[in-house]
Amino acid sequence: MLLLLSLVLSPILKYVPKAVLYGVFGYMGVSSLAGNQLWDRFLLFFIWDTNNYPRYPYVEAVKLKPLHIFTAIEASCLVILYALSKSPASVAFPFFIGLLVYVRKGMACGPFKKIWSPEDLAALDG
């Protein structure tokens, strides 16, 4: 209903400064990071003493090195997605999204089977 209302109010909404919109969406984005598993695992890189790690279920179920490798792979895929979306090759963006399914499935087989057990991957998948 609000989307339809925004179509009707679009002539008025063009007077809202872009800085206000960027501020609102920036605040919404930053405030939604808390509780995001990738963000929480990324912050673990900066806690040097493992005794100070929060007691998340995946921290207790998975060893430290496989946890950080999984986070690094996931973060690098996010960086690739962002770079791809800003490049002239952004047409390939949906294909890379589809490729991520096979990246995740590849973690469960082949040489990666030595890094993560099925239980580790189940815990990391949330």
Instruction: For residue 61, give the DSSP letter.
Output: H
40 and 62, same domain (yes or no): yes
Distance CA 124, CA 33 (A): 17
Residues 41 and 11 in one domain: no
Q: Are residues 25 and 47 in the same domain?
A: no
**Cα–Cα distance measured from residue 102 to residue 100, given in angstroms and rounded to the nearest whole number:** 5
Are 41 and 26 part of one and the same domain? Answer: no
If asked whether residues 46 and 95 sit together in one domain, one would say: yes
**Are 95 and 52 found together in one domain?**
yes
What confidence score (pLDDT) does residue 69 get?
Answer: 92
pLDDT at site 114: 86
For residues 76 and 112, state if they share a domain.
yes
Do 16 and 56 fall within a single domain? no
Model pLDDT for residues 78-121, shown as the tens digit of each residue: 999 999 988 888 888 899 999 999 998 888 887 888 888 888 88
Retrieve residue 40's tokens: 């929480």
Phi, psi of 27 (to 5 degrees): -65, -45
Rounded to two decimals, what is the model's pTM?
Answer: 0.78
CB atoms within 10 A of CB 66: 19
Domain shared by 118 and 93, yes or no:
yes
Residue whose token pair is 């998948």: 125
Domain that holds residue 75: 36-125
pLDDT of the residue at 108: 86
> To the nearest 10°, the Cα dihedral for 74, 80, 82, 88?
-160
Please give the Cα distance from 126 to 120 (Å, whole number): 10
The pLDDT of residue 51 is above 90: no
- Let me know whether 76 and 88 are in one domain: yes
Count structural domains, the chain: 2
The reply to whether 63 and 17 lie within a common domain is: no
